[in-house]
């Protein structure tokens, strides 16, 4: 079955880069997503990558995908206090009826 | 353009009661997904509706049910509420079901069972 894992916490200083990692098990994953959740809010779609790509850049965000190792990462350049939130990795597969399988979420804390 | 809207924001019920949660998708989106975010259990897929039909269901008991209306809005009904149903219920929508379109989420309904 599908399984998605993330580390629980990450603490960085303002201005540094943050790298949030994710591993997944489903080799039939077609799309991989990163969502951001702020306290009391829903999920904000940050970016996503198709499984035949290995990198995608969108302003301060860079997604790297290593399909062989089933490893996905999200790099946030010049991290700001407003980036403090929980970040979820999610995957969807053609056999999953388009449902998303989420990781546990990584709580990012940005310190001054 | 309005995003996914959910109502109510908060809902307080007691054990054994029934709860109804509502979701309006982004204009033009025809697929609606429901997820449960319970403390300690993470985000779990509940139901997927597309073109008025239930297309996929997560590992939840039958007392979790729903429907999708002709205008593509959706309701999630939870019968015989139990304490462990306390959670944030999130709704998401996509342009077209089953095509790996990215899912856009609402802010959720927080259901508390006393």
pLDDT digits (tens, 9 = 90+) for A5-41: 999 999 999 999 999 999 998 878 788 999 999 998 9
Over the Cα atoms of chain B, what is R_g?
A: 13
Residue numbers of B between 16 and 75 with CB closer than 8 Å to A: 31, 33, 35, 42-45, 48, 55-56, 58
Contacts of A97 in chain B (CB under 8 A): 48, 55-56, 98
- Whether chain A has a CB inside 8 Å of the CB on B99: the answer is yes
What pLDDT, in 10s, does the model give residues B59-87?
Answer: 999 999 999 999 999 999 999 999 999 99
| Interface residue of A63, A100, A106 to substitute, partner B, most B CBs within 10 Å | A100
* pLDDT classification of B99: cutoffs 50, 70, 90: low
pLDDT higher than 80, residue A97:
no
Q: Is the pLDDT of residue B111 over 80?
A: yes
- What is the percent of chain B where pLDDT is above 70? 96
What does the pLDDT read at residue A30? 82
Q: Which helix (H) or strand (E) holds A8?
A: none
Q: What is the pLDDT of residues A41-94, one digit of tens each?
A: 999 999 999 988 899 999 999 999 999 999 999 999 999 999 999 999 999 876
Residue with tokens 């790099």: A75
Answer whether A105 touches B (CB < 8 Å): yes
Gap between the Cα atoms of A109 and A107, Å rounded: 6
Residues B108, A42: contact at Cβ < 8 Å?
Answer: yes
CB-based contact B104 A100, cutoff 8 Å: no
Average pLDDT, chain B: 94
Residue B89 touches chain A, beta carbons under 8 Å: no
CB-neighbour burial class of residue B99 (10 A; exposed 0-12, middle 13-18, buried 19+): exposed
**Residues of chain B positioned with their CB less than 8 A from the CB of A90:** 43
Q: Which helix (H) or strand (E) holds B65?
A: strand B64-68
B-facing residues of A in 59-88 (CB < 8 A) are: 88
């Amino acid at each position: 079955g599908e399984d998605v894992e993330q580390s629980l916490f990450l603490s960085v200083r303002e201005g540094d880069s943050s790298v949030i990692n994710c591993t997944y098990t489903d080799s039939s994953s077609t799309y991989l997503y990163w969502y951001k959740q702020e306290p009391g809010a829903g999920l904000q779609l940050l970016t996503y990558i198709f499984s035949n790509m290995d990198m995608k850049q969108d302003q301060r965000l860079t997604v790297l995908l290593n399909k062989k190792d089933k490893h996905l990462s999200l790099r946030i350049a010049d991290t700001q206090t407003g980036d403090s939130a929980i970040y979820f990795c999610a995957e969807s597969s053609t056999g999953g009826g388009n449902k998303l399988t989420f990781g546990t979420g990584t709580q990012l804390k940005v310190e001054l | 353009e309005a995003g996914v809207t959910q109502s109510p924001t908060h809902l307080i019920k007691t054990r054994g009661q029934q709860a109804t949660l509502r979701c309006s998708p982004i204009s033009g989106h025809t697929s609606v997904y429901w997820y449960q975010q319970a403390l300690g259990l993470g985000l779990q897929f509940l139901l997927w509706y597309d073109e008025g039909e239930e297309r996929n269901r997560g590992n939840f008991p039958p007392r979790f049910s729903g429907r999708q209306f002709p205008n593509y809005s959706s309701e999630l009904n939870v019968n015989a509420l139990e304490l462990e149903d306390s959670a944030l219920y999130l709704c998401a929508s996509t342009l077209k079901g089953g095509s790996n379109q990215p899912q856009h989420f609402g802010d959720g309904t927080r259901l508390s069972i006393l």
